[in-house]
């Protein structure tokens, strides 16, 4: 097999693996799907890291970032000991360990194959385009692919529109590289055009302002850093123009601009949308082929390049200048307009901007409300937080209405609420270590920055194809990070894995000078002899991967046992059902679900007093979870007919969640029952 075919096969394999992870885990909200995907990802990552350990590649670039990531994952896992909802924190610990495994595997892959950044980029681009393409296809065949989708914003396969937009945004640097590179297949350069159109249209139809901004920043950085501006311009501008036209048409239709539209409304425009989408893809492919052939046959002269470069610079300056002038002529002037936009972004409002094309230019959102709630949660436990993933429950005591959310919509505020100042400090240290490693690899550092390697001081690098590819990988990770700063997309495994692969590979490669040093790096002139240390390291990696995979699976195993116990109870097989609840508690003792299931089994068996004691035990063991209090109160009210006891229990539930509709309804019912009993006595 030729080198080009091997690279293509490797890229397809990586893209397939990342796509399988994205489609398998979906939005990361289903415990069973997520746990299965995480187990497979950890085992695959363990195999890659184990191979690197077997080959003696345990030292090198990116080690500090891996170590700090491991410390952060360790803090996440330890948070179960102080979390107000330890079961949720346990699940989040599994998610973080999976991310650590993926990042470490990417670092190891950079040591195993340090000269394959193009393969990694192509794989990420393929997976991202597949996910975004599926989201668009769900509007071509809504009855088959998205029958139950209620939002006007495309969200499949993640069930969250901003996750689709983030996936599209992080693909932009990869597609700029694919379409502008001087080497490689002309087919790949041509395919970059329709792929860029898919991603641009995906961002527009998700109406995700954060993703559009992140993609714009990445594109600006690409043109600022990479001297392939002439080749990159058509890759960006032509698909953007075509996608904008189709996006404007789509956003003028109710199916794409108004929420809660029936399936019939979406199907009424599906045929037209599909036809226009197909026409756009064919047109962009033809343009890509023409541009690729034109560049290959008749490279532009220096004068032409200079003129196009000047025109591009004028266009780049014209857009912000127009915005600047518009702001200056507004009533509040420039400072007033900027201040108004910032106020809209951080204001504590319950009203999101209206749907449709106008949303893309609005700054208001509900994020300010969630950020303030996260700040109040941080005030309760500033050092270590309330536990990984516990913001969802901790915010209930601080919210001012019955609106619900699982996340704080921003990495910084979520981390502060969940893991406190300690978590944020570790995150910043990890970011700093990664940036240092990435700048060493890409050469995007000042000429005199005193970075040192074993091969000596690092100099400037020529803009060869390899360096361009590494800069693109760097921007893929940065794009995801920028969007995640104002959203919760890092909880979605698909786009997060793509970004972690890019980030880990950049960090693990190290500078070119280090690769050429004798006995240093993944291309050392002589491989270390097989010894006990390497065998032990490989065995240790395998054992760690198996243990982590087993630990990740335990909550799902517990949930399966709970479901089986309830089925057995419905069949009247109470002893077997009770044993299943014991199995569930043994698999996941950090969740109240096994105790609640046991109480239900006992109640169905006629053991109401024993069931009440079990529910009381769940309250004592999980006092920070309002669901345990509510479940006990409901049992006291409807099964034991003790409304006064239920009122006492509901005080705890309403303290933890004053705006709980269920607790409020139970409170009114219990008060009515107490008053009726008092009237009968009187």
Q: From 3.20.20.80, 1.25.40.10, 3.40.50.450, 3.40.50.2000, which CATH number describes the 554-681 domain? A: 1.25.40.10
What are the structural domain ranges in the chain?
3-299+355-516, 554-681
Count other Cβ atoms within 10 Å, centred on residue 580: 25
CB 261 within 8 A of CB 139: no
Running DSSP on this structure, what letter comes out for residue 33? H
**Residue whose pair of structure tokens reads 């014991």 in the numeric block:** 582
Residue 330's pLDDT is 46
**Is the pLDDT confidence value at 113 over 60?**
yes
3-state secondary structure of 642: coil
Q: Characterize 75-100 residue by residue with b for buried, 16 or more Cβ atoms within 10 angstroms of its Cβ, and e for exposed.
A: bbbbbbeebbbbbbbbbbbbbbbbbb
CB 293 within 8 A of CB 189: no
**Is the pLDDT confidence value at 523 over 90?**
no
Q: Categorize the per-residue pLDDT at 522 as very low, low, confident or very high, splitting at 50, 70 and 90.
A: very low
Calculate what percentage of the chain has a pLDDT beyond 90: 74
Q: Categorize the per-residue pLDDT at 513 as very low, low, confident or very high, splitting at 50, 70 and 90.
A: low
Express each pLDDT in 324-378 by its tens digit: 444 344 455 445 444 444 455 455 555 555 665 555 555 546 788 999 999 999 9
Phi, psi dihedrals of residue 115, rounded to the nearest 5°:
-110, 35
CB 287 within 8 A of CB 191: no
């Amino acid at each position: 097999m030729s080198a080009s075919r091997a690279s293509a096969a490797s890229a397809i394999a990586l893209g397939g693996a990342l796509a399988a992870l994205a489609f398998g885990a979906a939005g990361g909200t289903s415990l069973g799907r997520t746990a299965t995907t995480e187990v497979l990802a950890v085992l695959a990552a363990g195999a890659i890291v184990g191979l690197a350990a077997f080959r003696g590649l345990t030292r090198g670039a990116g080690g500090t970032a891996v170590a700090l990531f491991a410390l952060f994952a360790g803090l996440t896992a330890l948070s179960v000991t102080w979390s107000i909802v330890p079961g949720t924190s346990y699940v989040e610990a599994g998610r973080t360990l999976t991310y650590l495994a993926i990042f470490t595997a990417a670092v190891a892959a950079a040591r195993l194959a340090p000269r394959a950044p193009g393969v990694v980029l192509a794989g990420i681009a393929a997976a991202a385009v597949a996910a975004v393409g599926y989201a668009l296809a769900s509007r071509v065949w809504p009855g088959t692919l998205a029958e139950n989708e209620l939002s006007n914003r495309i969200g499949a396969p993640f069930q969250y529109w901003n996750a689709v937009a983030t996936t599209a945004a992080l693909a932009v640097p990869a597609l700029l590289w694919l379409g502008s590179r001087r080497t490689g297949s002309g087919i790949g350069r041509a395919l970059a055009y329709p792929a860029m159109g898919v991603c641009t249209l995906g961002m527009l139809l998700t109406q995700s302002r954060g993703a559009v901004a992140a993609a714009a920043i990445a594109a600006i950085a690409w043109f600022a850093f990479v001297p392939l501006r002439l080749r990159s311009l058509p890759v960006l501008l032509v698909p953007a123009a075509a996608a904008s036209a189709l996006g404007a048409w789509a956003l003028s239709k109710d199916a794409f601009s108004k929420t809660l539209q029936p399936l019939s409304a979406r199907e009424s425009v599906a045929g037209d949308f599909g036809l226009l989408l197909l026409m756009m893809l064919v047109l962009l492919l033809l343009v890509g082929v023409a541009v690729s052939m034109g560049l290959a046959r008749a490279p532009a002269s220096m004068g032409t390049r200079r003129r196009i470069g000047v025109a591009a610079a004028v266009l780049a300056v014209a857009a912000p200048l127009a915005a600047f002038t518009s702001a200056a002529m507004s009533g509040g002037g420039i400072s007033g307009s900027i201040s108004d936009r910032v106020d809209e972004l951080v204001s504590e409002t319950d009203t999101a901007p209206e749907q449709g094309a106008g949303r893309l230019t609005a700054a208001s959102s509900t994020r300010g409300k969630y950020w303030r709630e996260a700040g109040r949660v941080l005030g309760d436990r500033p050092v270590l937080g309330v536990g990984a993933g516990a913001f969802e429950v901790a915010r209930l005591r601080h919210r001012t209405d019955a609106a619900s959310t699982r996340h704080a919509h921003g990495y910084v505020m979520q981390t502060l609420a969940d893991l406190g100042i300690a978590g944020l400090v570790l995150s910043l240290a990890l970011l700093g270590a990664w940036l240092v490693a990435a700048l060493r690899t890409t050469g995007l550092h000042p000429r005199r920055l005193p970075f040192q390697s074993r091969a000596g001081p690092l100099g400037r690098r020529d803009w060869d194809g390899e360096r361009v590819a590494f800069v693109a990988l760097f921007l893929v990770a940065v794009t995801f990070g920028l969007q995640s700063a104002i959203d919760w997309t890092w909880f979605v495994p698909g786009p997060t894995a793509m970004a972690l692969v890019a980030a880990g590979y950049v960090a693990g490669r190290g500078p070119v000078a280090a690769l050429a040093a004798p006995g240093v790096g993944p291309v050392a002139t002589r491989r270390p002899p097989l010894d006990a240390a390497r065998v032990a390291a490989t065995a240790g990696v395998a054992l760690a991967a198996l243990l982590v995979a087993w630990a990740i699976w335990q909550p799902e195993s517990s949930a399966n046992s709970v479901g089986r116990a309830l089925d057995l109870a419905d069949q009247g097989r109470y002893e077997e059902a009770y044993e299943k609840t014991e199995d569930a508690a043994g698999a996941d003792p950090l969740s109240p679900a096994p105790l609640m299931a046991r109480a239900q089994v006992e109640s169905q068996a006629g053991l109401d007093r024993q069931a009440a004691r079990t529910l009381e035990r769940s309250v004592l063991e999980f006092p920070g979870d309002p669901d345990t209090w509510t479940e006990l109160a409901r049992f006291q009210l409807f099964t034991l007919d003790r409304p006064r006891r239920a009122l006492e229990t509901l005080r705890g539930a309403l303290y933890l969640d004053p705006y709980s509709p269920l607790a409020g309804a139970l409170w009114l019912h219990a008060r009515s029952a107490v008053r009726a009993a008092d009237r009968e006595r009187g």
